[in-house]
Amino acid sequence: EATLDLAERRRIRSAIRELQRQELEWDEEMLASKRFRPERSSHRQDDKENWPQSRRLEEEQQAALAALSEQLEAITSVEELTKLLRAAGEYEERKLIRAAIRKLRAEEIEAATLAGNVQSSR
């Protein structure tokens, strides 16, 4: 609904931004829980001989993805993330990088909105 009160508009916009931020965090948590969910299949029960090797590979992949996630948090440039995205080969890596790009863009939009609010208040 339309409102003429500027303070109320600001509160509404900040609430919307907060909801969007929470939704991004929730999406990232859901992706992480899906990514690290162990595979459950009857084949694994039948093939116990190869189970330790597949378990080790899965743990290595999880460790590599966790390290990539930490590396992505340190990057503050969308251009750098885009270069990493183009160079990434694994689907899970690309998914993490795209999430980091979305998060950075949301932060940039929020910062620009806050800067615009400060300018308008002056």
Alpha carbon distance 26, 32 (integer Å):
10
Same domain for 14 and 60, yes or no, is: no
Q: Has this prediction a pTM greater than 0.85?
A: no
- Considering the domain architecture, whether residues 31 and 61 belong to the same structural domain is answered as no
Quick one: 110 and 67 in the same domain? yes
Range of the domain at 109: 55-121
- Helical ranges in the chain per DSSP H: 6-35, 42-46, 51-74, 78-87, 91-121
In angstroms, the CA 57 to CA 50 distance is: 11
Tell me whether residue 4 is in a domain.
Answer: yes
pLDDT of the residue at 16: 92
Q: Kindly state whether residues 73 and 108 are assigned to the same domain.
A: yes
- 63 and 109 part of one domain: yes
Determine, yes or no, domain membership for 50: no
Residue tagged 């916009």 (tokens): 13
Q: What is the pLDDT of residues 41-82, one digit of tens each?
A: 555 555 566 667 777 888 888 888 888 888 888 888 889 989
What is residue 31's predicted lDDT score, i.e. its pLDDT?
Answer: 81
